[in-house]
Structure 1
Amino acid sequence: MDLQLLAALVLGIATIVVIVLRTRLDAFFALLVAALVTGFVAGTPATKVMEAITEGFGSTLGSIGIVIGLGVGLGKILEVSGAADALAKAFVRALGKGREPWAMGATGAVVSIPVFCDSGYVIMNPLARSIARRKGFGYVTLALALGCGMTLTHHLVPPTPGPLGVAGILGADLGGLVLAGLVFALLLLPVVVGYARWIGPRLEDQLLPEVREEIYGPRASATVGGGGATVPGGGATVPGGGTGEGTGEGTPAPGAPLDEPNPAAALGEPPEGAKPHRMTAFTAFLPLLVPLLLIVANTVATAVDQNAQKALGSDDYDPAPVAEALAFVGNPVVALLIGLVLAVYVLLPRWTTRTQVGGWLSQAAASAGLIILITGAGGALGQVLRSTGVGDELAEVIASWSLPGVLVPSLIATLVRVAQGSGTVAMITAASVSAPLVPGLGISPLLAALGCCAGSMVFSYFNDSYFWVVTRFTGLDGVAALRGWSGITTAVWLGSLPLLLLASVVL
């Protein structure tokens, strides 16, 4: 490989890691600087580098920016309306006594599709505490299953921002990624529950005393030993702030008071004479289910229609009326618009004012802004890698290795995740680096997207803001936190490797 181009790639990725870890600047700035460094070291004229950056940024956001904004808005309404809490309770009732870890894992997986991990976990954690309080044991198992269930769909299933960004950068079919991500999440859920059940009882006596007292009462705290240390960095900002699983906005600092929020408290009290706000599981699920079904229906109908026309010998694809209609309503922008309208008018009570809804959507837009910028900057880096020839050179080298093609984007995402902590940044960076390599690796954009998303799940630890959310609310500290949370995220990453190899045979 040309050493100059190799140096451009290495220095570009190193720039991201150093800026995110060692400076006060965020991943958006890091990705843009990395694109500049890569272009200049590769010997590309400055004007050409800037043209590639603006082209990559614009083309990426042109396809995915609106979808990210709508997805975050939908998640905010599910959060403030209490719909996420209603879903959780429905899962617990449906799965029955003795299967609470499965209920918590499944709840986390469903809630985290539209809701960021950090806020979703804060909303759902009181339910895990309530179940453990009634049972008198098992809180660590429930808390870890809930948190890692959220990790699965947060990393694998659009309309979560990370997978959306990956699909946009790689040009992967969004409906196909929804289906494949859901299959991966379903197959990995037993790994989540199995690890949580194995490690949970081993860590139960290492709960921080104040958390044990809140869950089991003062008597339990006095009789069970272990875990007497306080959470380090009390009142400090979250390490890696703003670069973890979600936006980092609102992430509680380690050592902060453990509040158990009422999910629907933002709705306020009903006016005199108004009916109380009630939420059924079906109603809660509807705004999430409809967009997903429309996107998947679009993918399936288009594929069936194209294959049917090819079988009839037609070279130019002319969509049938039904396929064309589904292509419109199943477009991610239209599907999520429908979901957002359903959420506002079905989930929120009639006394909710326009000002309240506008305020919540404004908050959602603010939290989505950084993710949108990071996604666009990832597209800019990918375009620089293409235009400088770094991607082509790297593809030739990797093609000479015996490493399966699907593991290349997964390995890149893994390394970036461990280095800087953010799953979203890891998968977007991996997609940006992998995009020029996909043709040479002999894999489809969909398979490359799965590799990027799955590889980013590995070893959540101190530089990940979601690590602090889960371990603080769970009440684990030090080695116990690493064994519990870092261990369970690494377990699902390991479980994804054989699934990726299997998918490379099928897709």
Structure 2
Amino acid sequence: MDLQLLLALVLGIGTIIVLVLRTRIDAFVALLLAALVTGFVAGSPALETITSMTTGFGNTLASIGIVIGLGVAIGKILEVSGAADTLAKTFVRLLGRGREHWAMAGTGAVVSIPVFCDSGYVIMNPLARSIARRLRGRYVTLALALGCGMTLTHHLVPPTPGPLGVAGILGADLGGLILAGLVFTLLLLPVVIAYAAWIGPKLEGELNEHIREEVYGTVTVGGSGHPGGTATATMDRSDATDGPDQDSPVHQLGEPPVGEKPHSISFGLAALPLVVPLLLIVLNTVAAAIDRNSQSALGPDDEYTPSSWAEVLAFVGHPVVALIIGIVLAVYVLLPRWTPRKQVHNWMAEAAASAGLIILITGAGGALGQVLRDSGVGDALAEAIADLSLPGVLVPFFVASLVRVAQGSGTVAMITAASVSAPLVAGLGLSPLAAALACCAGSMVFSYFNDSYFWVVTRFTGLEGTAALRGWSGITTAVWLGSLPLVLIAGAVL
């Protein structure tokens, strides 16, 4: 590989890492500066580099920006309406006693598809505490299972913003990524459960005393049924009730008018704004594949024309249309009719504000990817990697892993890996879908001090120091290792 082009790549990625870790510059600006550095070192004319950046930024957001905004808005309504809490309680009831950690992991995986990990964990953690209080133990196991269940879908399943951005940058089919991401999640959930069940009892005795009192009160924690130490604090009789309702999140719906029934949401209604868009997107993917297969007699020069039924499904199953349907369902099904219009508008504004930076980071990742393509760095790297024995699908996987460890954000890591990998996909013999899965899975590795979600989970769980590393950093690394053979299989069959 041309040393100048290799240096351009190394300095570009190094720019992101140094700026995010050592300066006040955030990931959005760091990605743009990295694109400038890459183009300059690669020898591209300055104005052509700017053109590549704006083209890549615009093309990426044209396909994915609206979808990210709508997905975050649905998550906000799930949060404030109490629908996310309903989903959690239903999972616990369905799985039964003794399988509460399965329920927590499954709940986290479902809730985190439309809701950011950080806010989702804050919403759901009171439920884990209430269950632990009733069990008189196992809080660490439940909290870690909940947090890492959220990590799986946050990294693997659109419409979570990171995977959406990766799909846009690599041109991966969104329906295919949803299906494959869900398969990865189902296969990795047992890893989450096994690690949480193994490490939880070992760390129960290392809980922060303040958190221990909040969770358990004056009860004996541990014993033969629930190993992990003994603690005493205060506990009311009301805290020992069967239901977790008193610890449920405080929602922002306000009191109903006189004569109105209190607002409650069934599981079916709570899941509707999430399930309907996902089903429509997946149905579009399946229908298109069936329709193309039915027209297999077409010659290589013949243009494919969708059948009328496939065209209808392509419209309603387009991510933009599907998520518009989802947000309409969320507003009119989940929110009670007495909710003021102004309050709903305020929630939408909050969702837009939280989505804004992710949208900008995604666009900046597209800008970097376009510079890598236009400068020739991508083609040169593909040729160099082709001479190695390393399986091609591991290239985006390890790029994402290195960036994650260096700067902490899984979203930035997977988008950076997609930007770097986009010019290489064809040369590596990879499908865009396999490359997208590799980027997403590789970004799960070793969450630690430079990851904001690390602090959310460990502070709410009450783990500090090495206990935090053994618990949270360990479980995220376990699912990363578990994803490695799945990525290799995806690279071989997709």
Whether TM-score is above 0.5 comes out as: yes
Q: CA deviation at 1:505?
A: 2.4
Question: Residue 195 of structure 2 contacts residue 475 of structure 2 at CA under 8 Å; is this kept in 1?
Answer: yes
Q: CA deviation at 1:270?
A: 0.8
Question: Residue 17 of structure 2 contacts residue 407 of structure 2 at CA under 8 Å; is this kept in 1?
Answer: yes
Aligned residue in 1 for 2:252:
266
Instruction: Give matches, 1:422-461, under 5 Å.
Output: 422-461=409-448
Q: Which residue identity does 1:317 align to in structure 2? A: Y
Question: Residue 385 of structure 1 contacts residue 436 of structure 1 at CA under 8 Å; is this kept in 2?
Answer: yes
Task: Give the 3 Å change call, closer, same or farther, for CA 153–222 of structure 1 in structure 2.
Answer: closer
> C-alpha distance in 1, partners of 2:180/2:258?
48
Tell whether 2:155 aligns with 1:168: no
Deviations 1:124-144 (A, max 9, x none): 000000000000010000000
Q: CA deviation at 1:87?
A: 0.1
Aligned residue in 1 for 2:242:
none
Q: Secondary structure at the match of 2:87?
A: helix
> C-alpha distance in 1, partners of 2:25/2:72?
23
Tell whether 2:366 aligns with 1:376: no
How many equivalent residue pairs? 475
Moved more, 467-476 or 310-319: 310-319
Aligned residue in 2 for 1:385:
372
- Unaligned 5+ runs, structure 2: 232-245
> C-alpha distance in 2, partners of 1:67/1:468?
28
Moved more, 211-220 or 96-105: 211-220
- Unaligned 5+ runs, structure 1: 228-259
Aligned residue in 2 for 1:193:
193
Q: Secondary structure at the match of 2:304?
A: coil
> C-alpha distance in 1, partners of 2:492/2:32?
36
Instruction: Give matches, 1:323-402, under 5 Å.
Output: 323-402=310-389
Aligned partner of 2:269 among 240, 262, 283: 283
Question: Residue 385 of structure 1 contacts residue 391 of structure 1 at CA under 8 Å; is this kept in 2?
Answer: yes
Tell whether 2:69 aligns with 1:69: yes
Q: Which residue identity does 1:180 align to in structure 2? A: A
Q: Secondary structure at the match of 2:252?
A: helix
* TM-score of the superposed pair, with normalisation by structure 2: 0.94
> C-alpha distance in 2, partners of 1:139/1:155?
24
Structure 1: which 4+ aligned runs deviate by more than 3 Å?
A: 218-227, 260-264, 311-314
> C-alpha distance in 1, partners of 2:250/2:329?
17
Aligned residue in 1 for 2:286:
300
> C-alpha distance in 1, partners of 2:378/2:72?
32
Question: Residue 192 of structure 1 contacts residue 488 of structure 1 at CA under 8 Å; is this kept in 2?
Answer: yes
Q: Secondary structure at the match of 1:310?
A: coil
Task: Give the 3 Å change call, closer, same or farther, for CA 75–17 of structure 1 in structure 2.
Answer: same
Question: Residue 81 of structure 1 contacts residue 264 of structure 1 at CA under 8 Å; is this kept in 2?
Answer: no
> C-alpha distance in 1, partners of 2:250/2:83?
8
> C-alpha distance in 1, partners of 2:416/2:95?
38
Task: Give the 3 Å change call, closer, same or farther, for CA 24–261 of structure 1 in structure 2.
Answer: farther
Aligned residue in 2 for 1:241:
none
Aligned residue in 1 for 2:140:
140
Question: Residue 153 of structure 1 contacts residue 182 of structure 1 at CA under 8 Å; is this kept in 2?
Answer: yes
Question: Residue 178 of structure 2 contacts residue 282 of structure 2 at CA under 8 Å; is this kept in 1?
Answer: yes
Q: Which residue identity does 1:445 align to in structure 2? A: P
Q: Secondary structure at the match of 1:265?
A: coil
Question: Residue 130 of structure 2 contacts residue 247 of structure 2 at CA under 8 Å; is this kept in 1?
Answer: no
Aligned partner of 1:476 among 453, 463, 468: 463
Q: CA deviation at 1:426?
A: 0.1
Q: Which residue identity does 2:255 align to in structure 1? A: E
Task: Give the 3 Å change call, closer, same or farther, for CA 339–222 of structure 1 in structure 2.
Answer: closer
Q: CA deviation at 1:310?
A: 1.3
- Computed over aligned residues only, the root mean square deviation of the Cα atoms, in angstroms, reads 1.6
Aligned partner of 1:487 among 469, 474, 488: 474
Aligned residue in 1 for 2:13:
13
Q: Which residue identity does 2:425 align to in structure 1? A: V
Deviations 1:434-476 (A, max 9, x none): 0000011101000000000000000000000000000000000
Instruction: Give matches, 1:82-101, under 5 Å.
Output: 82-101=82-101
> C-alpha distance in 1, partners of 2:492/2:221?
52
Q: Secondary structure at the match of 2:427?
A: helix
Q: CA deviation at 1:10?
A: 0.4
Question: Residue 206 of structure 1 contacts residue 226 of structure 1 at CA under 8 Å; is this kept in 2?
Answer: no
> C-alpha distance in 2, partners of 1:361/1:132?
34
Task: Give the 3 Å change call, closer, same or farther, for CA 191–221 of structure 1 in structure 2.
Answer: closer
> C-alpha distance in 1, partners of 2:222/2:362?
49
Aligned residue in 1 for 2:51:
51
Q: CA deviation at 1:95?
A: 0.5
Q: Secondary structure at the match of 1:476?
A: coil
Q: CA deviation at 1:219?
A: 5.2
> C-alpha distance in 1, partners of 2:381/2:449?
32
Q: Which residue identity does 1:104 align to in structure 2? A: M
Q: CA deviation at 1:263?
A: 3.2
Question: Residue 95 of structure 1 contacts residue 103 of structure 1 at CA under 8 Å; is this kept in 2?
Answer: yes
Instruction: Give matches, 1:152-163, under 5 Å.
Output: 152-163=152-163
Moved more, 19-28 or 315-324: 315-324
Aligned residue in 1 for 2:243:
none
> C-alpha distance in 1, partners of 2:211/2:154?
27
Aligned residue in 2 for 1:180:
180
> C-alpha distance in 2, partners of 1:36/1:431?
18
Deviations 1:130-161 (A, max 9, x none): 00000001000000000000000000000000
Question: Residue 165 of structure 1 contacts residue 375 of structure 1 at CA under 8 Å; is this kept in 2?
Answer: yes
Deviations 1:46-94 (A, max 9, x none): 1001000000000000000000000000000000000000000000000
Aligned residue in 1 for 2:237:
none
> C-alpha distance in 1, partners of 2:5/2:344?
50
Once the two structures are aligned, what percentage of the paired residues are identical? Answer: 76
Aligned residue in 2 for 1:253:
none
